[in-house]
Amino acid sequence: MARLYSGASDEQLRTAQYGVSRAVKQMYYAVLLAKALAGIQKEALDLANQHLDTIKAQYKQGMASDLAVLRQQVEVSNTEPALTKARNLYDVGLTDLKNLLGLDPEAELSLSDGFECAPQGPGDLAAHYRAAITTRPEYRGMKYQLDLYTEMIKIERAGHYPYLSAFASRQFQGQSDSGFPGAAGQSWSTTAGLRLSLPLFAGGAVTSKIAQAGMQAEIARTNLAELERKIKIEVKKAWLGISEAAERLRSQTAAVEQARKALEATEVRFRNGLSSQLELNDTSLALNRSQTLYTQAGHDVCSADAQLDWAVGK
């Protein structure tokens, strides 16, 4: 019984530890995402300023109108708030991460660059199911509870059986007017025997206790089956999430490269008067969107990977 209680307590502790580990990972990846998005917005603002410088130079040469300069200044002004917001989200996220880690808000905390957790694939779903059932601390703890109630049935059922016990004792008595009694004043008595208890009038109480323990065991068995179903759902959802995010990451990798090449070509055409300002800004926006989608996909892969690790009990 003590082993079962100890095992259940250990699994409860592991459940809490796994939950904290998952929360830290998810927060860490969220902060990385905010940092990356701030970098993307910084690049977008730099591009807008570069294009503004190009248009100003064209204006001085009589190749662009003052309206074109005003339009690009508006473009720069519209880009600045996005950068400010992205930086604020990063600072707030970093503060939340420090709080989760128990650090002072002003403590230095360095994050690695980029998302480096992208796996090749989510792996075999059936294998994840088996791993989760084997290692998830909640499931193991629930099994300990079922074993505990099953053991209680055996203990309560023993109340129907006769109880045989042995006992023995040895006593010393002595009398003396002074000092320790001598041999003549000493006496020893020894008692030993067997005690047989027959539960003749406890049948109803014992039967009730057995039934109660049986109901508790049945409830634990039902809860265990429901927990297994819940764990499989969590594993399946995490598996689907990482599959979808990995596919988006693969597709967006090429999209970012293509968008950057398109922007470079459009910039050359614009400087030569072969492309409009609208095309230039649209191409810049396309690059910004591709970078954002790529970064979001990288975050989603890492986040789903952490969720899958938690779901299978890693």
Helix (H, G, I), strand (E, B) or coil at 168: strand
The pLDDT of residue 84 is above 90 = yes
Domain 2-154+225-311 is found in CATH 1.10.150.110: no
The overall average pLDDT reported for the chain is: 82
> Which pLDDT score is estimated for 258?
92
Residue 83 to residue 183: CA distance in whole angstroms = 102
The torsion angle over the Cα atoms of residues 99, 104, 108 and 111, rounded to 10 degrees, is -10
Q: Count the helix, strand and coil residues of the chain and give each as a percent rounded to the nearest 5.
A: 75, 10, 15
- Among the residue ranges 53-62, 206-215, 283-292, the one predicted with the least confidence is 206-215
Tell me which residue has tokens 């009694």: 181
Position with higher pLDDT, 184 vs 279: 279
Residue 24 to residue 303: CA distance in whole angstroms = 11
Using one digit for the tens of pLDDT, what is the confidence trace for 111-120? Answer: 776 677 755 6
137, 18 Cβ separation under 8 angstroms: yes
Per-residue pLDDT averaged across 238-259, rounded?
Answer: 87
> Is the Cα torsion angle 99, 104, 105, 107 positive or negative in sign?
negative
Residue 46 to residue 243: CA distance in whole angstroms = 35
**Secondary element (H or E) of residue 264:** helix 203-271
Domain boundaries, the chain: 2-154+225-311
Using a pLDDT cut of 90, give the percent of the chain over it: 14
Strand residues in 156-299 grouped as ranges (E) = 163-174, 186-197
Using one digit for the tens of pLDDT, what is the confidence trace for 161-202? Answer: 677 778 788 886 766 666 666 666 667 778 888 887 766 666
β-pair partners for 193: 167
Residue 277 to residue 62: CA distance in whole angstroms = 15
Phi/psi region, residue 102 (left: phi>0; alpha: psi -120 to 50; beta: rest), is: left
CB within 8 Å of 126: residues ≥ 6 apart: none
Per-residue pLDDT averaged across 58-70, rounded?
Answer: 86
Position with higher pLDDT, 188 vs 96: 96
Closest to 199 in 3D by CA, of 187, 191, 190, 207: 207
Task: Please report how the helices 125-135 and 277-311 are oriented relative to each other, as an axis angle in degrees rounded to 10.
Answer: 50
The pLDDT of residue 88 is above 90 = yes
Residue 164 to residue 145: CA distance in whole angstroms = 30
CB within 8 Å of 230: residues ≥ 6 apart: none
152, 213 Cβ separation under 8 angstroms: yes
Task: Please report how the helices 125-135 and 137-157 are oriented relative to each other, as an axis angle in degrees rounded to 10.
Answer: 50
Helix (H, G, I), strand (E, B) or coil at 186: strand
Residue 36 to residue 25: CA distance in whole angstroms = 16
Residue 30 to residue 133: CA distance in whole angstroms = 29
**Secondary element (H or E) of residue 57:** helix 2-60
Per-residue pLDDT averaged across 257-276, rounded?
Answer: 88
Using one digit for the tens of pLDDT, what is the confidence trace for 141-157? Answer: 888 788 888 887 777 77
Residue 212 to residue 209: CA distance in whole angstroms = 5
* Banded pLDDT at 293 (limits 50, 70, 90): very high
